[in-house]
Structure 1
């Protein structure tokens, strides 16, 4: 070989060693073929992007779905929109602050949050309690109203993350898996059920199930808890709602005896479901156009609240509904990514509870609109009109964004990108100053 030493025989070439896919580096699986998806800040940007888009879609659709009914009531067409925009502006600093707090803060605040949430929920049985639609789930403070079951969701998720995370190695024993997580969860859910709020009760059940599943509780205990919960929910539903309009809706949906011919009268139990399906069917593929919905003209009750997904389907069509579904899927994917990548059990369990709450509530709401679930009064997170739900959901997503910022390598990556942006702006500013023409001094003879 040219250039080789005399007498030297070329040896066999050493094979190139490649790190197998899935090899862990710094506690995080590295997959080179995933490219930017495997970045330490992917979860952070997915959460921020999906949250922002859903909030914007919510504001636009609240304006579109409420303008007609507000005009009919003699109000400004922007009344419901401005109210929702104010709640969004109040929720924005809450989200920003929550996203900047370290996970250790939430770990120390878990017990105080649960105590405050239980106290607020218990106040619904005081003179401050206010019933809406047959549900005693509001606190009336005169100038404003609060739904205490919304912050109770966040408090329960953080508290379950603390107690289950600390006892994760002991969860193989039923005693440690049950105490104190199950009594605390039953206390919160019992107060909610006592106010006849079945929809929030179902969301809390999904939240608790997600937290227990990620914590690693024995599947036999989970199966037993699922059977008992289903029995309790069924018995409680019948006992608390017997003879009510909600009970009639339940039997009308699953017995097939709903009088669809009289749906326009507004007196049948499946009235909302039928008009929600009509809205979705009218929209077709591309929709009738933003603002052109027919059902929002007082045909579809709660068009800007629980049934806003029907208006989205009518005005934006199948493509609009798929966009909303895709954004919730992105939220779920980003939160599952935080669960997989973060090493702290507290973060994993808390994120699982919040993910099951937000994505599960979205699926329940959509199931109601398309006729798979009875009407139980559950809003679409970030999209439906409602202050307590919007602010609490933004706070919960701020907590998960904080966890995403705490993923291995995420803080360093965010700091590096911030410095790159600052340097780029500095270069642009310096170049702009150099590009300015110099003023010529007048020549003097």
Structure 2
């Protein structure tokens, strides 16, 4: 048995199946929980209880072909599109300074493309920046011991992207960019002395950005701030903790949440993990953590096994983004992190975030397909499946009444 598990773990296609399986399960779980957590608010607004769910399902259907196409592109294709993709991402982010900009809860980080259609450019900037950093840092990997080669051209590009996000007052998304860049630099082999200087500088910028009264209030709220007043800063976290606590081991049952009855703000979005804990209990929350852990393990496996530096760096950037964002979101719900407005990847409602995350995972899946021996193994398994289907189909056809020939005997 142990040898069997070891052989499966050492298989060239293990990373591929781990990525596909965990991504699919998180996507399905997210759709189910969006339906459960959003139905009451939709009814209260006079809409169909399925409105948010149908929108999310539509976004998932839009993201699926992008994910599949991304999973089929070889690393060389991403090298060719890295610079154009970053340029397009920066252009879209600049549109927040035009009349197309749409503000939400103090953040100016969306643009309107028509009636009822808004996108968040910063989500797609994450994908573009991850690929671009992989390409640029891989080319300069032997020179990264010199801070000048770390700073140029990575510094200006990162500064522009993150700066535009912070100008839009979206500190939560800016912090995710910091994780993304840190993952890329670490795997690229940037010396720790340079890494430490960059970390201190980043911490200083974050402290300055968080010094506004509202953001400072959110930080102090986790140390015993306002909780009872629905307008208080700590109210949302308190309701999230109550939802988690009331779920117990197995939960109150799917669809039976009490907190989603307008008690818990953003129940279908930033605080959907609390509804999972309430309805599915400790088991449900552990399942979510397990699936994200599987994604993380698969990405680490790709980083260790793939020979190309560009693949390693891009995978690290995407991994730190998705896994880091998941941990921050969960930390917010359980009161360890101030409320900064980042969704749970693949699970929370939100079109731009879902499509961008699916696209990023498609890129990593393409890297998993490109591991040594993986492409050949997948092709061989696909051939076996096709032959099996042909055999079963032929047998069914004969049983359906086709005359038996001498070849059939």
TM bracket (short chain): over 0.9
Q: 2:160 aligns with which of 171, 187, 192?
A: 187
Q: Is the deviation greater in 134-143 or in 53-62?
A: 134-143
- Structure-2 residue corresponding to 1:75: 47
| Equivalent-residue separation in structure 2 for 1:74 and 1:428 (angstroms) | 51
Query: Considering only CA atoms, is the larger Rg found in Structure 1 or Structure 2?
Result: 1
Q: 2:205 aligns with which of 224, 227, 232?
A: 232
- Structure-2 residue corresponding to 1:284: 248
Deviation for aligned residue 1:272: 0.2
Deviation for aligned residue 1:32: 8.9
**Aligned pair in 2 of structure 1 residues 286, 173: CA closer, same or farther (>3 Å)?**
same
Contact 2:248 2:278 in 1 (8 A): yes
Task: Verify: 1:319 aligned to 2:283, yes or no.
Answer: yes
Deviation for aligned residue 1:251: 2.1
Deviation for aligned residue 1:432: 3.4
| Equivalent-residue separation in structure 1 for 2:324 and 2:87 (angstroms) | 25
- Structure-2 residue corresponding to 1:243: 213
- Structure-1 residue corresponding to 2:407: none
Matches within 5 A, 1:29-428: 34-143=6-115, 144-238=117-211, 242-244=212-214, 246-254=215-223, 256=224, 258-260=225-227, 263=228, 265-428=229-392
Deviation for aligned residue 1:187: 1.2
Task: Verify: 1:431 aligned to 2:395, yes or no.
Answer: yes
Deviation for aligned residue 1:425: 1.6
CA shift digits 1:54-93 (9 cap, x unpaired): 0000000000001111111111100010000000000011
Partner SS for 2:102 = strand
Partner SS for 1:417 = helix
**Aligned pair in 2 of structure 1 residues 329, 438: CA closer, same or farther (>3 Å)?**
closer
CA shift digits 1:169-217 (9 cap, x unpaired): 1112221122111221111111111111000011000000000000001
Deviation for aligned residue 1:435: 4.7
| Equivalent-residue separation in structure 2 for 1:193 and 1:208 (angstroms) | 15
Q: Kindly report the root-mean-square deviation, in angstroms, between the aligned alpha carbons of the 2 structures.
A: 1.5
Structure 2 gaps of 5+ residues are 405-409
| Equivalent-residue separation in structure 2 for 1:32 and 1:306 (angstroms) | 41
**Aligned pair in 2 of structure 1 residues 85, 354: CA closer, same or farther (>3 Å)?**
same
Q: Is the deviation greater in 300-309 or in 142-151?
A: 142-151
| Equivalent-residue separation in structure 1 for 2:263 and 2:5 (angstroms) | 52
CA shift digits 1:321-378 (9 cap, x unpaired): 0000000000111111111111111111001000000000000000000000111100
| Equivalent-residue separation in structure 1 for 2:5 and 2:51 (angstroms) | 50
Contact 2:226 2:235 in 1 (8 A): no
| Equivalent-residue separation in structure 1 for 2:150 and 2:304 (angstroms) | 22
Partner SS for 2:222 = helix
| Equivalent-residue separation in structure 1 for 2:348 and 2:320 (angstroms) | 18
**What is the TM-score with the length of structure 1 in the denominator?**
0.88
Partner SS for 2:142 = helix
Contact 2:274 2:333 in 1 (8 A): yes
**Aligned pair in 2 of structure 1 residues 259, 388: CA closer, same or farther (>3 Å)?**
closer
CA shift digits 1:362-412 (9 cap, x unpaired): 000000000001111000000000000000000000011111111110110
- Structure-2 residue corresponding to 1:8: none
Structure 1 gaps of 5+ residues are 1-30, 441-445
Partner SS for 2:109 = strand
| Equivalent-residue separation in structure 1 for 2:348 and 2:4 (angstroms) | 40
